[in-house]
Amino acid sequence: MLTISKVKALKGMHPYHIPLKCVIASALPPKTYTKDGVHKEMQQLVLCDNTGYLKANAFDTAKKDVLKEGATVILKNFISKPDAVIITSRTSVFKAPSLKVDQEIIDQAVVYLRPPTPPPADISIIKSSPVKTIHTVEGKIIQDECPRQVAFKDTSLDIRTIVIQNKKDNIKVSLWKEFVKEEIKTGDFVVAKNLVVSEYQKEKQLSTTSRTKIQKTSPPEEQLSVTVLAFDEEENTFNLLCQIDGDTLLTYNCSTAVVTSLIREPCDEDEPSDEDPLHERLLYHLPGIAQVKIQNTTVVGVTKPLMKVE
């Protein structure tokens, strides 16, 4: 009987009649692929015993009812490669009595096939990461291209490119296959998990994988120092023209309650009092610097009220 360690020690590709007894530590759902214009299925597994663990690719998905997580099986007539076991239609899969495997090895095997989802990373870090690194990114969609088809081997694939912005940086994300139909659009805030780093024309990008999940999320709350230059008053709403980082001009909206929080208590005789109209009191403090909490394009809170500057 072969062991995982003996299979891993083999070099090259070999068909084996000697059986291998192992536990299926983890199994992913079958996924489709195209070869010679024919749609086929393949299932990824990870096998283990007390000598180690090894990935397996099952190209005969008719055996998926036997190849279940936690099952102990004996494989015969499989193909051994340096980095995986190949299960074909000629491979025999037998149910076998339970094989006891150290939990530490099982845990390592599961993580090998199902790596934990990385937390969101700054785009600058993603752009400096090696190709094929897995990342999670969150931010605002600032560009959304129309879906198109690209040639791939002997077929064509659907692709849609979006651009996600986080703080001052942005990155292209290629949505492949079923992800082309994601119900997201320009202006949405999203978190996209388990994307892989790729490179095109010396530019780092991200692409979807079989493990990718894209979810809409609420805009993050940021604390900024802004110089309020001017405003426009609408019914129960103010639009503030703000200068950020010395040169960037942006417009934020806010409620009358937030504007009230922006204004300091009167301390000069010439300063409008609480009884004066709110727009007059605000105008007196402009231009002024304030610390505010911003969510998307809305001022939702005030940390430090306006300090008038000359």
Asked if residue 264 is part of any domain, the answer here is: yes
Which run of H or of E encompasses 169?
A: strand 169-176
- Domain identity same for 242 and 212: no
Determine the pLDDT at residue 229.
96
- Domain identity same for 27 and 101: yes
Asked if residue 78 is part of any domain, the answer here is: yes
d(CA 235, CA 221): 25
Asked if residue 147 is part of any domain, the answer here is: yes
Determine the pLDDT at residue 171.
97
The whole-chain average pLDDT of the chain stands at 91
pLDDT band at 268 (very low <50, low <70, confident <90, very high): low
The total number of structural domains in the chain stands at 3
**Boundary (domain end) residue, out of 85, 113, 141:** 113
pLDDT band at 55 (very low <50, low <70, confident <90, very high): very high
Q: How many CB atoms lie within 10 A of CB 201?
A: 5
Asked if residue 118 is part of any domain, the answer here is: no
pTM of the model: 0.69
Would you state the structure tokens that stand for residue 202, as one six-digit string? 């010396």
Determine the pLDDT at residue 274.
77
Give Cα 29 to chain centroid, integer Å: 20
Is residue 255 classed exposed, middle or buried when 0-12, 13-18 and 19+ CB atoms within 10 A define those classes?
Answer: middle
The answer to which of 3-12, 134-143, 291-300 has the lowest mean pLDDT is 3-12
- Domain identity same for 157 and 107: no
pLDDT band at 276 (very low <50, low <70, confident <90, very high): confident
184 vs 297, higher pLDDT: 184
d(CA 247, CA 129): 31
- Domain identity same for 8 and 80: yes
Asked if residue 87 is part of any domain, the answer here is: yes
What one-character-per-residue DSSP string does 97-137 give? S-----HHHHHHHHHHHSPPPPPB--HHHHHTSPTT-EEEE
Asked if residue 86 lies in contact with residue 79, where contact means CB atoms within 8 angstroms, the answer is yes
Looking up residue 41, the CATH number of its domain turns out to be 2.40.50.140
- Domain identity same for 234 and 205: no
- Domain identity same for 204 and 241: no
Asked if residue 36 is part of any domain, the answer here is: yes
Looking up residue 229, the CATH number of its domain turns out to be 2.40.50
Is residue 181 helix, strand or coil? helix
- Domain identity same for 34 and 67: yes
15 vs 182, higher pLDDT: 182
- Domain identity same for 151 and 245: no
64 vs 233, higher pLDDT: 233
Is the per-residue pLDDT at 266 higher than 70? no
Is the per-residue pLDDT at 141 higher than 70? yes
Asked if residue 64 is part of any domain, the answer here is: yes
Determine the pLDDT at residue 43.
93
pLDDT band at 10 (very low <50, low <70, confident <90, very high): confident
13 vs 52, higher pLDDT: 52
Q: Determine the structural domain holding residue 257 and report its residue range.
A: 221-308
- Domain identity same for 143 and 196: yes
